[in-house]
Amino acid sequence: MSASFRIGRIFGIPIALNWSLVVTAVGLTALLAYQAIPLYAPETSDTIRFGAAFGAVVAFFVSVLAHELGHAVLALHNDIRVERISLWILGGVAEMNRRADNAKAEFQVAIAGPVVSLAMAALFGSATIIAHAFGAGLLVLNLLLWLAFINLTLALFNMIPAAPLDGGKVLTAWLWRNGGDAESARITGGRAGLAFAVLLVVVAFVDLFWFRRSMALMLAAVGVYLGFAARGEIAAAVIRQRLTATTAGEVMVGHPQSVPDTTTVAQLDHLEHLAGEPVARPVTRWSPEPLGFVVAGAIMIEESARTYTQVHEVMTTPDQVLRISDESSVLDIIDNWVTNESQIAIVINNSGVMTGTITGDQVRDLLVMPNLWGRTKSNKETDQASLNRPGRGRLSGTAQSLTSNLRVGRDAKLIEMAASRTD
């Protein structure tokens, strides 16, 4: 999350605050000091009112942090690395390096946050009872009660079965466990989240225009945020589902024509133009055994140099390309491209013989952005899209950023890449 600064570590997890949190802090402090506290402690001085209000707001932020730490601890328990916890204007987020491997882990990580919030509500509720027994004033009692109430609200709101809320992840885990398909479960959870987001925005606008309450704007902001996040959940799940279901054998260019090592890049460009798509071609000399591989669209040299530069000078050597079986999923290929800069995959059959090659262009059509509800355009509409795009032969630009994030929780990268592929 941009515009954030780190304040420390807990359990080795970096904790960051976003500058937008200042808006929430100021707004809540002012609301408590000017509207809430005067109702039950009207004789309190301004200094005490603002001090008490600010202390309550800090305690609330600590509660949100505890909620996110609940997610983080269970993520670590399930061998999911937590990159950091960020607090911002609409709450907090625990950023993880990957998604859960199974429904049980998905459930555990999701439910941990609301459980912690319920525990915090019980803690502040108990503190209210104890403080009352010791004769504390109305100011202290009401602020403790407010903290108990807001933690209970945080737990209950997050348990609404609508992704990306925790309840949506619990729903996903249940559907996953009973249906066996993680991505279909995530799509359903995302759709529930999208419907809930629309409901929130509608309620907010009715509240704003009918009752004229300014707090409806915050409700609308939450609805819009949840809508975009749910949209991301749906799109990322649809794309991951496609990538998992498609094998290397289905997208590869079978037995691509080889080129002599003395071929110039300009001649290779012409060959690619005739072929109609970027292809990773073996470079040979005296025998069929490849000296390396080249993709014309991935060779970034001056136009004038292309007429005399020979392919053996710019080829990717065999030890630099990814070797995969024809039964490997495209998701596995892209995931392995994290540590393989060439973005060339050689497809090997069960006998150890190369049967084809794959570059970024062979997988682009699988990254087409679905519509709002997760539906995809027909193949006829997208068949030729890759051929008209720059940077052919590689997953360029946002696509390169995908390779380090495809299996992780940061699906914004995946969505950004798919968006760049939308026709």
Q: Which of 131, 150, 139 lies closest to 63, judged by CA? A: 150
Sheet arrangement for strand 259-260: 259-260, 281-284, 292-294
Task: For 32-58, write each residue's pLDDT tens digit.
Answer: 999 999 998 998 999 999 999 999 999
Using the structure block, give the residue that is written with the tokens 């991951």: 240
Is the separation of the CB atoms in 269 and 314 below 8 Å? no
- DSSP for 385-404, please give it: GGGGSSSTTS--THHHHHTT
How confident is the model at residue 276, as a pLDDT? 81
Q: For residue 213, what pLDDT is reported? A: 83
Q: Rounded distance, CA 380 to CA 63, Å? A: 52
Q: What is the secondary structure of 340-367 as a DSSP string?
A: -TT--EEEE-TTS-EEEEE-HHHHGGGG
Angstrom distance (rounded) from CA 325 to CA 349: 6
DSSP state of 409: S
Per-residue pLDDT tens over the stretch 379-403: 444 443 433 333 344 453 334 333 3
Q: How far apart are CA 261 and CA 267, in angstroms?
A: 12
Quickly name the fold that domain 248-420 has: CBS-domain (3.10.580)
93 backbone dihedrals φ, ψ, rounded to 5°: -150, 135
Low-confidence ranges of the chain (pLDDT < 70): 1-2, 377-423
User: How far apart are the C-alpha atoms of 85 and 11, rounded to whole Å?
Assistant: 11
Q: How far is CA 153 from CA 66, 156, 201, 300, 327, in A?
A: 15, 5, 19, 56, 48
What's residue 1's pLDDT?
Answer: 57
Tell me if residue 214 falls in helix, strand or coil. coil
Q: How is the chain split into domains, by residue range?
A: 4-159, 181-245, 248-420
CA distances from 104 to 25, 81, 99, 226 (A): 36, 17, 12, 24
State the maximum Cα–Cα separation within the chain, in Å, rounded to a whole number.
96
- Predicted local confidence at residue 410, as pLDDT: 35
